[in-house]
Each structure stands twice: as C-alpha cells, then as structure tokens.
Amino acid sequence: MLFAPAAALQVAAADGGVASRLDSMQYLNEVVVERRSTSRDAVIPEQRLGGKKLESLNALSVADAIRYFSGAQIKDYGGVGGIKSIDIRSMGTNHVGVFYDGLQLGNAQNGQIDLGKFSLDNIEEISMYNGQKSNIFQPAKDFGAAGTIYLRTRQPRFAEGRRTHVKLTMRTGSFGLANPSLLVEQKLSDRVTANVSAEYTYATGRYRFRYRKVFSDGTLAWDTTATRRNGDIRSLRVEAALFGRLDDGKWNLKAYLYDSDKGIPGAIVNNVWKNSQRQWDCNFFVQGHLQKHLGKRYRFQVNAKYARDYMRYLNPDTTLMYIDNRFWQQELYVATAHNYAIVPDVWDANLSVDYQWNSLDASLRDFACPTRHSAWAALATAAQLGRLKVQASVLGTFVSDRALALAASGSSRRRSTSRHEWTPAAFVSYRAVASERNVLNLRAFAKRSFRMPTFNDLYYTDLGNASLRPEKVNQYDLGLQYTFASGNSHALFHGFNLSADGYYNHVTDKIIAVPKGNGQYRWMMMNLGQVRIWGADATAQANFRLPGDVYVDARLAYTYQLARDFSDPTDVADEAGTYKGQIAYIPRHSGSAVLHGAWRSIDLNYSFIYVGERYDNSSNIRANYVQPWYTHDISAGYSLRLGTVKLKAQLEVNNLLGQQYEVIRNYPMPGRNYRLTLSMEI
C-alpha cells in the first residue's frame, strides 16, 4: 500500500498516460507513482470529491454531494424532483458557473442551473473553485464567474485484455423510487473509446411531514402531520460520448438528453396542502473539445457547443390564474484558447476568445423574443519563481441584445442594447514550508466579476426592466493550506490536510424585485441592492490505517458568513427594517462531517450536515426566523467479485433521526428515508 498527497502525485496508467488525478489522500494498490514539480494550475486549490469518496456518500444528485463543500449553500425545495441550486459565498446563484466536461451549462432565461437534474451515476469527479479555476489554459468564459463548479463525467477504462465494460445499477427506496441505469464502455481502437450512459428515474415524491407554526408571541398556531403531494417525477437521461487520443493531443465529442415530467408541490401556506402545478423539461446539447500541443511551447484548444431547451409550466388552478406557458431556448457557443510557454516550466501566457449566441421564445402574449450575442476575450499569464506562484488575467465581455419593444400604438419594433465590461483578477501563492513530510502554502487573490441581467430580468412581460445594469462583485481572499504525510505505509496516522480562508465580497447594483406602483401585486426588476459579505471557510482531512487492515478517512468542513444587506440606509425606521440585516437564507454558521471506513469488501460511511439559524428576509425579525437544521446519514456497502463480474450492494439511511426541517420556508423536507443500490459490473 502507498499513500500520496493529492497535490504532489499522479498515477501513471499502463499506456503511459495519466490515469487519474487524486482528489484526496488515498491508498493505492501496486501502482507506479511519479513525483512531479509543483504545477502552476494550483495557485488556489479546489475542493474536490471523486472516486470512492464520492461513491460512498449518501447522495443521489450532484446537489446532494456539493452540500459537503465549505462555503456552498444549496437551495433545496424538497423531494427527489425538487429544484436544487447553489450559492457560493453568498454572492447569489447567478454568479456561479457550472461546467459539464469543461463547457459551461447555460440558462439565458433565468441564469440558474438546477443541479437536481444531474445524477451522480455518470459523474467521476466534482470540483468547486472560489474565484476561478487556477489554470490559465481555459476558455475566456471560465474567467468570468465569481465561483465555479466543474462536473467531470466518467471516461472509459478497461481491465487488461478487455475491450468492453458494462455496469448495471438499480436503486429503490422511499418515495416510490425506481432508478435503473446502464453504462456501456467500448474500446473501438487503441486511440478511440466510447461510452453510452442511460438512466430513468421514477418517484411518487410522497412523504409524511410534521408542520408546526408558532406566532410571534409564542402561542401555538397549529401542529399537524400531513403528506407531501404533487412531488412526483419521471425523468430520462441519455448520454453518448467518444474519446480520442492524438499525437500530443486529445479530443472528445458528447451528446446529452434530459427529459422530465414532474409535479411542483409548492409552498404550504394558507392551509393549502396540495398544489397542481406541473413542469415539463427537455434539455439537449451536443459539444466537442479538441486539445493539441504543437512543439514544446505552444498548445491550443477548441470547444464548441449547441444546446436547445424546452420548458412548459402549467398551473391549472383557475381560482388564482390559469397559466400554460411554454419557453424555447437555443444556444450556440464556440471558444478557442492559445497557450505559449515564454520560459518553459516558469512563465506562460494565454489568449482566449469565445463567442455565444442565445435566443428565447415563449408562448406569452407580447413577449420580447430576445436574442443575445456575447463575446469574451481574456489575456492571462502565470509564473513560478521558486516558491512563489502568481497568476493574473483581464477579461473583456461584450454583449449585444435585440428584443421586441411594444410601442404606445400597439405596434412592435426591434430594440438593440449593448454593454461591455472589463474585469481583472490576480492570484498569488507562496510555499512557506516545503519539506519531505510537511508543506505549507499561503495564498491570496483579488477579483472583479459581474453577471449580466437574464432574459427574465430584462424582458419578462410586465416584470422585466430593459435598463438594468450588470450586477458586480469584488472578491478578496487570504488563506493557507497545510499538508502532512507520514511517509510510512505501516503507520497508524497516514496524513493530514488543512485548508482555511478568510474573505470579503462586495456586491453592487444587485438586481432585485421591487413593487411597481402603489400595489404589492405588480413588481419590476431594479438595480437597488448592495451586499457586503465577510466570511471564513475551513476544511480538514485525515487518513488512518488501523490494525487488521481497517482504513479510515475523515473530513470536516466549516463555514462562517456575515452577509449583510446595505441596500437602503433609510430602511431602519422600525424593527422590520432590512438595513444591515443578514440576507435571506444565509446562515452565520454551517458545516459538515464525513467519516468513512473500509475493511476488505465492506464500506461504512457516516455523514453529518448542519445549517444554522437563518431568516427568509433581510428584515431579521422573529416572524422571518428559520430554525437551524441538521441531518445524520449512514450507509453500508459490500462488494463481491466472481471472476470478471463485480457485484455491490449498498444500503443508505438518510436523516437517521427523522428531523423535521425546511431549507426554504414552507417547503418541508423528507424525514427518515431509505435507499438500496444494487450494481453489477462486467
């Protein structure tokens, strides 16, 4: 057995390529371990879950796994099919870029990516970066987000002498869950491989919950038990991909389809326990990537993508308003990046240029039917001077919109608007201690970023405001990372890793909805918000080898966030004022713990998540108070190999203590629930 810190080692594959980049401290069986020089792509290290650690978590979707990262908050509306979006360091969901195999997932309509749509069944690794990915050889668009999530799907791997690999998985459990999936990997030649992944999800979404409300004076309003309804889901995901190797290069081509029909259970308010709204989604994209070295100093990459999304929303409740709206989005994206080693292994420069076209059509009356042309140009450089590593970049973003504008006469005309922004960033890392067993890195970064108003913000009928300015963020971070490796494979304590950061984020021109006119029933989007965020993140990992070949690894994550609303200094006239209040749904304290143990063919996993008290409004009064919540999850797995067939069974118990809680007010989450997973690999 060998132990290796993730930042220092790579595992060499049989064909001479790099088989995988380790995501944490791991135990390896009879591999060739190569030490590499500290790379310039880790000035600001990421948080990462992958391999066995990701597989052992009690997680069904990508959103479930991301909850274990420090600094990340998941907005979860409950159930298997409930919408799940991410907020990094309190800057807002729209400031998070989500990348799928290197290309960003888009939603020009509202800017939010529902992470509940992405199953872990075909995900090999999840990485989260604050600021941006610390690798200048990337598309220009990657430099733009304030925080990024990278989802890397599984790439084909084959045992010695085999050309085909098949994995069958079946999950079942609470809420009527039936979740079969199939993965087929094929080696087409020595340089080309392919895989096809398909998954079907069905769930009734029904679960019992206790609903209790107490008035501000402390008297009990009600305390009842009910069943969550209209949370059913039927979804199909199909992916197909080709992977190829070139002389000094590689390429891949991927097609993705997701089709779903689900109920929207809605909020529990005014004694309404059941809603009838439904949503249909059909998301399709095809994307490709080419990367190649030309000589020892120059390399380039090209990315391309076409996406088409359809969404239908139905509200058949005529007592409010009958709604049956359909939306169609299209996206075309092309990007190229060029990297040149000015001084090999010391100083690099990179130039990236991207172009994207988006359109949105809808069945709404007098809809603006907007189109958007976006271009990005980024110039970046990275240098390593002994123990000091620096990166700097500047990104230019150029956006041009065209939309129908309704004239007073009732006629419509095309209206064009253009915007451009320049956003710099600088990152620095210094290795203060570098011994055989101990490594201490100090790091800092400053970055300016922004997010464009979405089509809904600008053009949604009777709500949009075409004069909105981009929402801007200034980020500042100071942190450290300490790694200890025992260097003795027989030692009880194998290694330890600690990462901690303090940060300050300032959000200006925040886009918020405000009342339009004298009534509270009509709203308009405005640039009125300002948020100041002080925070700290810490993550610690440790690995142990106990007597009897028992391996244990533990991971702790903690986040402190003081995210205050400075939008309106006059809004302090009474106790319901919002000035300097903690913004909605951001806890001061949150954290997670994961403990994993393995003995021979048995895996045991325990995980704990805590989210502190919050408010559902920047007015931090008792009426807006949301209680803290926590969950304990456990799982046990057993693997068995019969010749070339590998069998595995895993039983999970989630929310072990059956706590009744809400992530979003009036959206009750499930109590204790179970899941059984059976898989077979050939």
CA distance 381 to 160: 41
The torsion angle over the Cα atoms of residues 129, 135, 140 and 144, rounded to 10 degrees, is 30
Side chain identity at 201, as an amino acid letter? Answer: T
Side chain identity at 649, as an amino acid letter? Answer: A
Side chain identity at 364, as an amino acid letter? Answer: L
Q: Is 579 helix (H, G, I), strand (E, B) or coil?
A: coil
Q: What is the pLDDT of residues 187-232, one digit of tens each?
A: 999 999 999 999 999 999 999 988 877 776 777 877 888 899 889 9
Q: Record the pTM.
A: 0.88
Highest-pLDDT range among 316-330, 462-476, 578-592: 578-592
The pLDDT value given to residue 457: 87
Local structure of residue 40 (DSSP, 8 states): G
Q: List CB contacts of 602: < 8 A, sequence separation 6 or more.
A: 636, 637, 638
Phi/psi at 117 (nearest 5 deg)? -75, -15
- Which residues on neighbouring strands pair with residue 447, listed in sequence order? 425, 475
The pLDDT value given to residue 238: 96
CB of 536 within 8 A of CB of 499?
no
Return the ∠ at Cα 152 (arms to 473 and 537), rounded to 5°: 40
CA 134 to chain centre: 17
Highest-pLDDT range among 219-233, 240-254, 263-277: 240-254
Mean pLDDT of 280-302: 96
Lowest mean pLDDT among 58-67, 84-93, 401-410: 401-410
The pLDDT value given to residue 516: 55
CB atoms within 10 A of CB 526: 18
The pLDDT value given to residue 247: 92
Please give the C-alpha separations between residue 76 and each of 121, 182, 204, 286, 290, in angstroms, as whole numbers.
Answer: 20, 27, 18, 28, 36
Q: List CB contacts of 517: < 8 A, sequence separation 6 or more.
A: none
The pLDDT value given to residue 409: 52
Element (H, E) at 239: strand 233-246
First to last CA, the chain: 26
Please give the C-alpha separations between residue 73 and each of 62, 67, 84, 91, 466, in angstroms, as whole numbers.
Answer: 13, 7, 10, 10, 30
609 pLDDT above the threshold of 60 = yes
Side chain identity at 626, as an amino acid letter? Answer: V
pLDDT band at residue 575 under the 50/70/90 scheme: low
Q: What is the pLDDT of residues 496-540, one digit of tens each?
A: 999 999 999 999 998 877 665 444 445 577 887 899 999 999 999
23 pLDDT above the threshold of 50 = no
pLDDT band at residue 21 under the 50/70/90 scheme: very low
The pLDDT value given to residue 52: 76
* Two structure tokens written together for 667: 């959206």
6 pLDDT above the threshold of 50 = no
Phi/psi at 128 (nearest 5 deg)? -125, 130
Side chain identity at 457, as an amino acid letter? Answer: D
The pLDDT value given to residue 38: 38
CA distance 43 to 427: 7
Mean pLDDT of 492-497: 88
* Two structure tokens written together for 520: 């509270």
Mean pLDDT of 630-637: 94
Q: What is the pLDDT of residues 122-178, one digit of tens each?
A: 899 999 999 888 889 999 999 999 999 999 998 898 888 889 999 999 999 999 999
Q: List CB contacts of 94: < 8 A, sequence separation 6 or more.
A: 111, 112, 451, 454, 471
* Two structure tokens written together for 388: 């000091």
CB of 541 within 8 A of CB of 496?
yes
Mean pLDDT of 351-368: 93
17 pLDDT above the threshold of 70 = no
Mean per-residue pLDDT over the chain, rounded: 86
Side chain identity at 531, as an amino acid letter? Answer: V
Lowest mean pLDDT among 238-247, 270-279, 578-587: 270-279
Q: Closest Cα to residue 657, out of 608, 598, 593, 620?
A: 608
Mean pLDDT of 361-374: 91
CB of 93 within 8 A of CB of 75?
yes
396 pLDDT above the threshold of 80 = yes
pLDDT band at residue 32 under the 50/70/90 scheme: very low
